[in-house]
Structure 1
């Protein structure tokens, strides 16, 4: 949001705090909620999962400082996270929070989930029978025939997608809707008034912080957390077992790595993920970037977010 205060909308915008993992999004969101009498909506897809606390750096009750948080601990590890379901839940929560005279603050680094909540973005449905048939074709013949099918009906998506799972999704959408998957790609148009604050980081300091954070997770019992979740069915899930740290420490349980190796692999993967997040968010010109270590960060962010609700 830009311009003087008299140009701000009558209904204050949704606030979104975005940026790479480890940059302090959760802390800033809590401070803004205290400033604006707000409530926080989680937009980190791995923090949806019950029991995945240490490895996702999930904000603790004490760290929430009495601020209500939504969409934490809403799935079992065997369930699949759905960006479409999240969109519906997040928008309903935003409406409810604003209707109660409070301010909705979205916080998280899962870029597509943030855009699902904020942007005009349509999600086509799914069909388990189509999905199973395409997965069977993949199993029988590999990805090449599926890619050729996609090239015939949606060359734009075929040129963008390299992952077999996403190729299957694109073909499923075409069969269901008759429209190419690429036609559902979002434009940068807000669904309702919003302001996005990005936490700009010193990349070398972030690298060091992420390494320390992983070692702290190990000291806090990450391996035991993974062990408990494995018993609860972690490997049966489609989304949860791919989470940073969990995939690496499952290998420790299998005897394929030791704790030190798993920690180092997690550090590397986390740093790579942070770079991808920065690339994603830097591509959005609507985000206002502020220094993550600025002592006036909360005040500067609050000034950009407009007045509270009347």
Structure 2
């Protein structure tokens, strides 16, 4: 039984089978009008380019939802149908190199449909909601001028709120004030004395900085700049969204009458907003969402995954929670884990690894919960059930886009309830526990090492043959930790093949052309993996049989 692994700056990876959720019970599916269906191929290609009547606003589609709900896929398919371009409203996708942890669209997807505000900054740079507002508004105008449809998608609530309603009229700091603030906080930041810096700004007149996340030096400096420029803290400035919401709540409508409330909202929207925003929030049942998030977190530990990106951030000299990129969920936990392992001389126990994974999954679920709470209070969004057929959802959204009355609402067959009304689901949520698909503590097995191309640890991307049996290169020390020869990567530690599900996992890896060697205790003596198209390398050796798979570590 192996109880530990060496972790001196790593990329750890694993593989799971695609999650095959049972098909949910569907109400009668949404059926678009035949007239709309026939005319859409022509209409959607010229609607945005058609000359607008005086006072008529141009349409902008907004797709949001909690992490893991499938909003990126929906936005991509919708943009294809509406002759659109995608504007990312994600605070992490703006950074180059942070692909896995931000679930960034693939290169092929970006070639299919133009994507904006993706890969525009180095991870050491800051990016704020104010910068997003300016960038997204400018890009939206450019897309509309080309006769195409802006499809804004992302889960960063504040970004979308400012984009739709506008930003506070906060003064921009002069270069002199910016320099003054930097010099006042430079020594405190260099010493890492966050608490003293917060108290300094509180004494200057902004008690609101106490609510900032620890080590958020960018926002701390910005708040002090506003204070020095205007003589008032940021909270003194009117936020356009608050003004809009106050007008809506003060209108004489029956709050329990949803149709009346929505109608009033549309009237307010036409008077207050400069674009005709068509907004949808994609979600699903909370239990299904949590399971999807947990599996997604495991997926992010695949080859070239989250840990390698976190290692790169550390190599850049960045620390966890030190700027926008390193505060992002996933990267923060991964960087903490790698730093902990380095402090221990490059070692990590099984317990520490699973603790990192658990924290990552929990933080992701909590973020999704906060997203649901945030958008529940945003009246402009129509909620759609993500478990419904994608084609039906796309047809409905296209019909809403084509509808000139602004009164087409989500049908019951596609509607997602904002609140949990089922007591059984509430009980199940309270009892929810993560069940990992492939990262488990049962049946820990040694895995073969992969030969490196250089002594420095640079991996050769080309397939290497032959592979080396793990039990020929691994030596176990007295304290049951794993060590290996210098020219080999460390073996990946934790994967279970104790049931049919995991055997299917291996089969999928083989079909995909996996290139790393596995070893298993020979519980099925004489058993041999299927050869042929899989081109399995390896043969029976001692009391082990070997097959290829994706799971490996690079250190």
1:222 paired residue number: 306
In 1, the alpha carbon distance for the partners of 2:284 and 2:160 equals: 19
2:29 paired residue number: none
Secondary structure, aligned partner of 2:355: helix
1:181 paired residue number: 234
The alpha carbon displacement at 1:233 in A equals: 4.0
In 1, the alpha carbon distance for the partners of 2:119 and 2:74 equals: 21
Output the TM-score relative to the length of structure 2: 0.49
* Distance 1:137-1:251 versus aligned 2 partners, 3 A rule: closer
* Distance 1:285-1:54 versus aligned 2 partners, 3 A rule: same
* Distance 1:11-1:192 versus aligned 2 partners, 3 A rule: closer
Of structures 1 and 2, the one scoring higher in RCO (CA 8 A, sep 6+) is 1
Kindly report the root-mean-square deviation, in angstroms, between the aligned alpha carbons of the 2 structures. Answer: 2.8
Q: Structure 1 residues 167-176 or 37-46, which shifts more?
A: 167-176
Secondary structure, aligned partner of 1:53: coil
| 1:294 lines up with 2:388 in the alignment | yes
| 1:98 lines up with 2:181 in the alignment | no
2:113 paired residue number: 67
Structure 1: give runs of 5+ residues left out of the alignment. Answer: 1-6
2:326 paired residue number: 241
Asked whether the 8 Å contact 1:120–1:191 carries over to 2, the reply is no
1:29 paired residue number: 75
In 2, the alpha carbon distance for the partners of 1:19 and 1:32 equals: 15
The alpha carbon displacement at 1:35 in A equals: 1.4
Asked whether the 8 Å contact 1:51–1:229 carries over to 2, the reply is no
| 1:125 lines up with 2:172 in the alignment | yes
Q: Structure 1 residues 172-181 or 203-212, which shifts more?
A: 172-181
The alpha carbon displacement at 1:161 in A equals: 3.6
Structure 2: give runs of 5+ residues left out of the alignment. Answer: 1-52, 245-272, 342-347, 405-555
The alpha carbon displacement at 1:302 in A equals: 2.0
Q: Structure 1 residues 128-137 or 246-255, which shifts more?
A: 128-137
- Structure having the higher Rg: 2
Q: Structure 1 residues 165-174 or 104-113, which shifts more?
A: 165-174
* Distance 1:176-1:191 versus aligned 2 partners, 3 A rule: farther
* Residues 83-94 of structure 1: pairs in structure 2 closer than 5 A: 83-94=129-140
* Distance 1:130-1:279 versus aligned 2 partners, 3 A rule: same
Number of aligned residue pairs: give it: 296
Asked whether the 8 Å contact 1:201–1:292 carries over to 2, the reply is yes
Secondary structure, aligned partner of 1:241: coil
| 1:270 lines up with 2:316 in the alignment | no
In 2, the alpha carbon distance for the partners of 1:134 and 1:226 equals: 27
The alpha carbon displacement at 1:11 in A equals: 4.1
The alpha carbon displacement at 1:230 in A equals: 2.6
* Distance 1:283-1:80 versus aligned 2 partners, 3 A rule: same
* Residues 190-229 of structure 1: pairs in structure 2 closer than 5 A: 190-220=273-303, 221-229=305-313
